[in-house]
Amino acid sequence: MTRYALRRLLMTLPVLLGLSVIVFMIMSLIPGDPAMAILGSYATPENLARLRADLGLDLPLPQQYLVWLGNIVQGDLGRSFTLNRPVLDEVMERFSATLILAGTSLVICTLVGVAAGIISAIRQYGWADRIITLLVLVGISVPAFWLGMLMIMLFAVELRWFPVSGMYSIYGGGGLTDLLRHLALPSIALAVVAAGVIARLTRSNMLEVMRQDYIRTARAKGLDESRVVLRHAFKVALVNLIPVIGVQAGFVIGGAVYIETVFQWPGIGRMLVNAISTRDILLVQGGVLVVAASYVLFNLCADLLQHWLDPRIKA
């Protein structure tokens, strides 16, 4: 297990390096002058040239990347000029709010998706299977941000069951109950698509496992059907579902950008939207890099968990 973990960890290093190159190149291709965005359109050419030199924008692009990468290795993502604070501090503060939203969505989509997939598999071609298949098809086809707006209109504006936006109430909030009320709508909207994907793959994996000879043998021995499904079939199918859940973990973090904008959730997605509009390059680069790195690390954890459950799996 240790050798496998070290090998997988070493394999992620080139991926992270490639991500840093892609993030840097994409930001460098965005039109506009960051110095002009900071100083304004009435800045003198002398002040613009001085600021470009301070920011290192006068260096060749490969040298800019090497300087930026060297700072990242030392834990320095730069300083946000719009917020006047270190990028790392801002990103980590916002990322904690995103993890709360994404983590809740991942729990919801995993529980709902796995339960729906198991029911659909054991009731194959029945009315429950048809209804679940229809709901899954609708769920994976609906954009999360559009669903979020519909949920705001219905449950927040019309019925007034939940708050419209934010993470806590402005007045009289701050407790766990207040957080859960604000968390309900965005987490469900973010979880719908991932739940559909997990449900479809759970169904296909369960159907494949339940056709195996040892499942028929277990039934022939007179074991209870629920024990056959949960302790024999699902235990084997779960090994193949772990990487899928890992991929969906990255999906909900990436999808949080849209949901946080719709619900005004104070996470890293909303921060990135604001940073892009103000051309705060270092803040955008730091935020995107953290999101991309978290996607890679979630998949690494899923691979390690899958190998722990089934040591026969090789890298």
- List CB contacts of 52: < 8 A, sequence separation 6 or more: 35, 58
Rounded CA-CA distance 147/314 in Å is: 40
pTM listed for this prediction: 0.82
DSSP conformation class of 191: H
Can you give the pLDDT of all 315 residues of the chain as single tens digits?
677 777 777 877 888 888 888 888 877 777 666 777 677 677 777 777 887 777 777 778 888 888 888 888 888 888 887 788 888 888 888 888 888 998 899 999 999 999 999 998 888 888 888 999 899 888 888 888 888 889 999 898 888 888 888 888 777 666 788 888 888 899 999 899 889 999 999 998 888 888 888 878 877 877 777 778 877 788 788 888 888 888 888 888 877 878 888 888 888 888 888 888 777 888 888 888 888 888 888 888 877 787 777 666 655
Q: Under CATH, what is the fold of the domain 92-271?
A: MetI-like fold (1.10.3720)
* Per-residue tokens: 217: 């043998």
Report the alpha-carbon angle 267-107-172, nearest 5.
50
CB contact at 8 A, 108 and 277: no
The confidence score (pLDDT) of residue 108 equals: 92
Smallest CA-to-CA distance from 5 within 312, 309, 310, 308 is with 308
Kindly compute the dihedral angle of the four CA atoms of residues 176, 249, 313, 119, in this order, to the nearest 10 degrees: 80
| Location of structure tokens 């290795």 | 73
The confidence score (pLDDT) of residue 51 equals: 74
Environment class of 32 (CB within 10 Å of its CB; exposed 0-12, middle 13-18, buried 19+):
exposed
| 85-86 vs 79-80, strand pairing mode | antiparallel
Rounded CA-CA distance 229/41 in Å is: 67
SS3 call for 79: strand
The confidence score (pLDDT) of residue 248 equals: 85
CB contact at 8 A, 315 and 4: yes
The confidence score (pLDDT) of residue 112 equals: 93
The confidence score (pLDDT) of residue 310 equals: 66
Phi and psi (nearest 5°) for 304? -65, -40
Task: Write out the H or E segment, with its range, that includes residue 80.
Answer: strand 79-80
